[in-house]
Structure 1
Amino acid sequence: MILLQGIRPLPLTEDAMPTNIPFTSNYHDLSSTDGYQFEFHCDRCGNGYRSAYQRNVAATGQRVAQGLGNLFGGRFYGVTSTADRLLDRSTNSEAKDRALNKAVTEISPHFHQCLGCGDWVCGDVCWNEQVGQCVRCSPVASEELAQLQAEARRYQVRDKLREVDLTSEMTLDEQSHPRCGSCGAQSHGGKFCSSCGSALSVEVTCSSCSHTNPAGALFCSQCGTGLV
């Protein structure tokens, strides 16, 4: 969060701007030449808030002056040049500092800085009000208990499942039948596929000695020649 512990925004007046604006890294600058807007994010969950859009008055005045210059030509050249100089198109400017300070005042009530880890976290999800720390440093007891209970249930279900007989209706001593090597159909016994007629037990003939080897053999059982 951009507002540090113990520091309050100064009054937003033209003559009394703060010389320093405290900040951290958890905000995004959405400003453009037309106006200023900022997003502030929680360091823990990433949720956040977007400040209200603040129009850049200087940019509006410049566009008006440029329009007059285009309309009346050289007579208003000095006006448009002055408007260009007044509009600061750089990343930092006094107008932007005022807008940022105003955004801090608007959004800061939604955030708290944890004195345990130093993170700025949102008050809605990640702040333990009873302890005064974020829920990562000091978890809420009821939420922590619910998480531990869910984890314990998973372990207990897994342990009990090991004791349940899930194979009582399976015939484990019955020969299993492979799929057909030609068409991929599930076979139900026999020597040939009932879908395409291909032999289910494909034999491999050795290219060296012409010996017939069973399916899956890597080397010829007669001469030792590789079959793959």
Structure 2
Amino acid sequence: MREDLHFSDNYRDLSQQYGTGAGFQFEFYCECCRDTWRSPFEPYRSGQASGWMREIGSFASNLLGGLGSGLDNAVEGLAKAGWGNARDEAFKRAIEAAQAHFHRCAKCHDYACDRCWNADSGLCQRCAPDLAAEVQAARLDGRLQAATESAREFGKGQAAQVDVRGERQLVCPACGHETRGGRFCPACGQALAAPARCGGCRAPLPAGSRFCPECGAPAGRAGAVPPPAPSS
């Protein structure tokens, strides 16, 4: 294949060398949106003949011994010998047809389809985005940012209603289910008290403590703090 051919890296070769379906076809794609276009199928007669002769040779081998196999190999060799030049010619014709469906960007040199092409500037949409589309996108982005900021400020106001000082049991002591900070277990309904506190300094007492880790008072003086009353 000649090195000066266009579309050297954005196509897929769908050609088939042998068999009754032998022929040339190439698939080109837009380097912006990846949409594809396929060239018209061109049959490769020598390859098709090889496929037909292979089927005939298989039948003839049963009747004529090695003669059928020899005919099959001869036609297949002819198809292989002419494949390279025939493919290159078909590829050049496919490129000429593809140029009607793609445009080469003067800046990035990528090939763009009609939908990704900015005809006013002669550049692809990535290098020269549509102004109206960019303005609309920026407007929607600004609206989203403003709405997000408003929601954040509203959330800060709601935070004042959240009890951030009261201790909550996160796991039910009765069934082991997660409580998510509730006053009652959502699985078994067990009332959940806040952790026990020292009767002297009111510091939280770890489970199983015999003495307060803050003031040293005996844990016997500690008492469980009842859950906070619901806010009105």
TM range, smaller chain: 0.5 to 0.7
> CA–CA distance in 2 between the matches of 1:150 and 1:198?
47
Per-residue deviation at 1:171?
Answer: 5.3
Maintained 8 Å contact 2:167/2:194: no
Alignment of 1:76-95 (within 5 A): 76=68, 78-88=70-80, 93-95=84-86
Contact 2:50 2:79 survives alignment (8 Å): yes
1:99 deviation in Å? 2.2
Q: Which residue of 1 aligns with 2:99?
A: 108
Structural mapping, 1:62-211, within 5 Å: 62-72=50-60, 73=64, 74-76=66-68, 78-88=70-80, 93-124=84-115, 126-164=116-154, 166-167=157-158, 170=161, 172=163, 175=166, 177-182=168-173, 183-186=176-179, 187-188=182-183, 195=189, 201=195, 203-205=206-208, 211=210
Work out whether residues 180 and 198 of structure 1, in 8 Å CA contact, stay in contact via their aligned partners in 2. no
Count of residues paired in the alignment = 192
Q: Which amino acid aligns with 1:132?
A: G
Q: TM-score, with normalisation over the residues of structure 1?
A: 0.67
Unaligned runs of 5+ in 2: 197-205, 218-232
**Bigger relative contact order (CA 8 A; separation at least 6):** 1
In structure 2, what is the Cα distance between the partners aligned to 1:168 and 1:76?
A: 89
Change (3 A) 1:201 1:174: closer
1:36 and 2:20 aligned: no
Instruction: Report if the CA contact (8 A) 2:169-2:192 is conserved.
Output: no
Please give the alpha-carbon distance, in whole angstroms, between the structure 1 residues aligned to 2:194 and 2:159. Answer: 29
| Offset at residue 119 of structure 1 (A) | 0.9
Shift of 1:169: 8.5
Question: What amino acid does structure 1 have at the position aligned with 2:122?
Answer: G
- Name the SS for the 1:88 alignment partner: helix
Identity %: 23
Q: Find 1:48's aligned residue among 33, 36, 53.
A: 36
- Selected match of 1:25 from 9, 32, 40: 9
The structure in which a higher percent of residues are helix is: 2
Change in 2 beyond 3 A, CA 1:85/1:197: same
Instruction: Decide whether aligned partners of structure 1 residues 89 and 172 sit closer, same or farther in structure 2, where only a CA change above 3 A counts.
Output: farther
> Mean alpha-carbon deviation: is it higher for 155-164 or for 45-54?
155-164
CA contact (8 A) 2:14 2:25 kept: yes
Distance 1:59 1:198, change over 3 A: same
State the Cα RMSD in Å.
Answer: 3.7
**Aligned partners of 1:119 and 1:26: how far apart in 2?**
9
Residue matched to 1:5: none
TM-score (norm 2): 0.66
